[in-house]
Amino acid sequence: MKIGVLALQGDFSEHISMLKRIGVETAEVRLPKHLDGLDGLIIPGGESTTIGKLAVAYDLMEPLKEFGKSHAIWGTCAGAIFLSKDIGRDQPLLGLMDIKVQRNAFGRQVDSFETDLEIDELFKATGTENPYHAIFIRGPVIESVSGDAKVLSALEDGRIVAAQQGHLLATSFHPELTSDTRFHEYFISLAS
34 catalytic? Reply is: no
143 catalytic? Reply is: no
| Options 14, 15, 71, 77, the catalytic residue | 77
Distance CA 167, CA 11 (A): 22
Nearer to other proteins, 134 or 191 (CB): 134
Residue 73 is given by DSSP the state: E
Give φ, ψ of 7 to 5 degrees: -115, 40
| Options 14, 15, 71, 176, the catalytic residue | 176
Strand pairing report for 84-86 and 132-135: unpaired
CB 157 to other proteins: min, Å = 10
List residues binding other proteins (CB under 8 A): 7-14, 30, 45-47, 49-50, 53-54, 57, 77-78, 89, 103-104, 107-116, 131, 135, 137-138, 174, 177
Distance CA 155, CA 118 (A): 9
How many other C-beta atoms are found inside a 10 Å radius of the C-beta of residue 79?
29
114 catalytic? Reply is: no
Which residues are annotated as catalytic? 77, 174, 176
